[in-house]
Amino acid sequence: MSPIGATLAANGNAAETGPNGDASKLRITLTQSRKAVPPPEEQIFGKIYTDHMVVVSFDPAIGWLDPEIRPYGPLSIDPSASIFQYGTSVFEGMKAYLGPDGKARLFRPEHNMARLKKSADRLALPSFDEYEVLKLITKLVALESRWIPETKGHSLYIRPTIIGTRPSIGVRASDSAILYIILSPTGPYFRISKPISLLAVNEPVRAWPGGTGGHKVATNYSPTFKPQQHAEKLGYDQILWMVGEKVTEVGAMNFFVVIKRDDNDLDIITPPLDGTILPGITRKSVLALAAAHPSHTVLSGLPDVVRLHAHERELTMSDLRTWSAEGRLLEAFATGTAAIVAGIGRIGFEGSDIRLPENEGGLGPVAKALFERITDIQTGRTEWENWGVLCE
């Protein structure tokens, strides 16, 4: 496991440290009344928050001010602020995991910081030093270490957010902002041991070429709530988003299929990053691990004589129907920070369902092998390519 600084430097993401937003100038104000950590069964995703938060403000005349850790609570924002009027908000989803040695770990956090910076740039929000923000995250996680669940499948969810706070309804970029970081102990995203069901829709669309689908901005998410309600009324768990015939994402997750080849190897296919799809860190990790089997590592439960061929290529509903009819569509699964890997059991489109083979526990052999390897890396039980980073 590598420390934060070494990981950022090795990946070329450590920007020059400047005086503004400098983590070494962090001020800490501790709460006078610590909350009780809830039992595992009450740790539902996004429902409970820890005692403290990080807050850093950006002043257009000064830059990023000195950061502070303070008790979790409301922010004071002008009613005319850009975030309220024009949705100038970007965020990240990360997790801290407790290893068998009792130490907290982050999973490939340099990629989260790079994506947050890219998202902020897309909305013309103030830029920031990824290294300094990551140091603030590790300091907050260390302070709140008692909140990191020890139960298997549980973690401490980390939500860094940047919002525009320019107090004007004039239509222009926000020249002031607040960066804040909050933490939430959480259990499994889907609290069921069965695969999820999808309703494929091509109207409305979640994202379009040239839009913001490849960035983690707030306005990508709120327009999906109404279609999600419709899918649930029809008995489906999530939306499979499409652009025309092309498949893109599952809800807020990336989409994968496993296809049997004529040579009995397996193709692992996910749609390409064409600007409509978020470049997920778990997605990136799945592609790398799949490509490594079996030449560089053997994934648990998979034969070492079967090669996994990882592809980024366009997928259509016609492809899925054809592969299903031919008996070649072996698995479909979704990936993301919250769920990690979620199995898919059926996909509804134009009044009929594509049904995937049933597997005990909801995950097919490939999805299960990937899930187990990724979670082992996240919790420090397995080391791989410096993906696990200690909070030191």
Question: DSSP letters along 123-167, please?
Answer: TTPPP--HHHHHHHHHHHHHHTGGGS--STT-EEEEEEEEEE--B
Residue 127: count of CB within 10 angstroms of its CB: 13
Residue 189: per-residue pLDDT: 81
Residue 5: per-residue pLDDT: 52
Place of tokens 């998410």: 221
Residue 278: per-residue pLDDT: 97
Residue 192: per-residue pLDDT: 65
> Domains in the chain and their CATH numbers?
2-187 (3.30.470.10), 196-378 (3.20.10.10)
Each residue's pLDDT tens digit, 118-148: 999 999 999 999 999 999 999 999 999 999 9
Rg (CA), the chain: 21
Residue 9: per-residue pLDDT: 47
Work out the angle at residue 251's Cα, subtended by the Cα atoms of residues 250 and 255, and round it to the nearest 5 degrees.
15
Question: Over the chain, what is the mean pLDDT?
Answer: 93
Collect the ranges in the chain with pLDDT lower than 50.
Answer: 8-19
Distance CA 362, CA 320 (A): 19
The structure tokens listed for 152 are 């298997």
| Cα first-last separation, the chain | 11
Residue 159: per-residue pLDDT: 98
Q: Nearest CA to 118 among 48, 13, 250?
A: 13
Give the chain's largest Cα–Cα span. Answer: 65
Residue 19: per-residue pLDDT: 42
Distance CA 227, CA 247 (A): 16
The structure tokens listed for 4 are 């934060």
For the entire predicted model, the pTM comes to 0.93
Strand ranges (DSSP E) for the chain? 2-3, 27-28, 52-59, 63-64, 68-71, 89-91, 94-98, 104-107, 155-164, 177-186, 196-201, 238-243, 246-250, 253-260, 266-270, 308-312, 329-336, 340-349, 352-355, 388-390
Q: In the chain, what percentage of residues exceed pLDDT 70?
A: 94
Look up residue 46 and give its amino acid. G
Residue 97: count of CB within 10 angstroms of its CB: 22
**How would you class 233 by CB atoms within 10 Å of its CB: exposed for 0-12, middle for 13-18, buried for 19 or more?**
exposed
Residue 16: per-residue pLDDT: 34
